[in-house]
C-alpha cells in the first residue's frame, strides 16, 4: 500500500473493516471514494458485508470486497451490498495456480 498508493497520490488508512469504532477513527471525510478489504481473512473470521456496505454507503463511498477465499459458491458480496468484488482465480476458483482471469482475456 505504502509504495504503490502513496506514490500515486492516493491517500489511505488501514483499519479493521468489521469494527465500526476502528473505521470511524480511520475515516477521512475529505472526498472519500472507497473502502476495500478482505471479507474472510486468513484467520477465517467473517466480515458482516451488509453492515459494512451500509456504513460505507452512508458516508458516500463504495465498498470493494476481496472474496477470494469464500468464492462465489459460498458468498455473493454484490447481493450483500458491495459495489465491486475481486477474486483471485489462482486460489480456490481454479485450485491449481493455472487459472487466469481479468478484463484482458486470454493472451
User: What are the sequence ranges of the domains in the chain?
Assistant: 2-93
What is the CATH code of the structural domain delimited by 2-93?
3.40.640.10
Residues 6+ apart with CB under 8 A from 54: 81
- pLDDT of 105 > 50? The answer is no
pTM > 0.85: yes or no = no
Q: What spatial distance separates the first Cα and last Cα of the chain, rounded to whole Å?
A: 28
Model confidence over 16-64: pLDDT tens digits?
A: 877 888 888 888 776 667 777 765 556 667 788 899 899 889 988 888 8
Residue pair 68/89 in contact (Cβ under 8 Å)? The answer is: no
Amino acid at each position: 500500500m505504502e509504495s504503490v498508493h502513496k506514490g500515486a497520490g492516493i491517500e489511505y488508512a488501514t483499519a479493521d473493516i468489521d469494527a465500526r469504532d476502528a473505521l470511524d477513527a480511520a475515516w477521512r471525510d475529505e472526498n472519500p471514494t472507497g473502502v476495500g478489504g478482505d471479507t474472510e481473512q486468513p484467520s477465517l473470521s467473517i466480515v458482516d458485508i451488509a453492515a459494512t456496505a451500509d456504513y460505507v454507503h452512508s458516508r458516500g463511498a463504495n465498498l470493494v470486497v476481496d472474496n477470494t477465499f469464500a468464492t462465489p459458491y459460498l458468498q455473493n458480496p454484490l447481493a450483500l451490498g458491495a459495489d465491486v468484488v475481486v477474486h483471485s482465480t489462482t486460489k480456490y476458483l481454479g485450485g491449481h495456480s493455472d487459472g487466469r482471469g481479468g478484463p484482458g482475456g486470454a493472451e
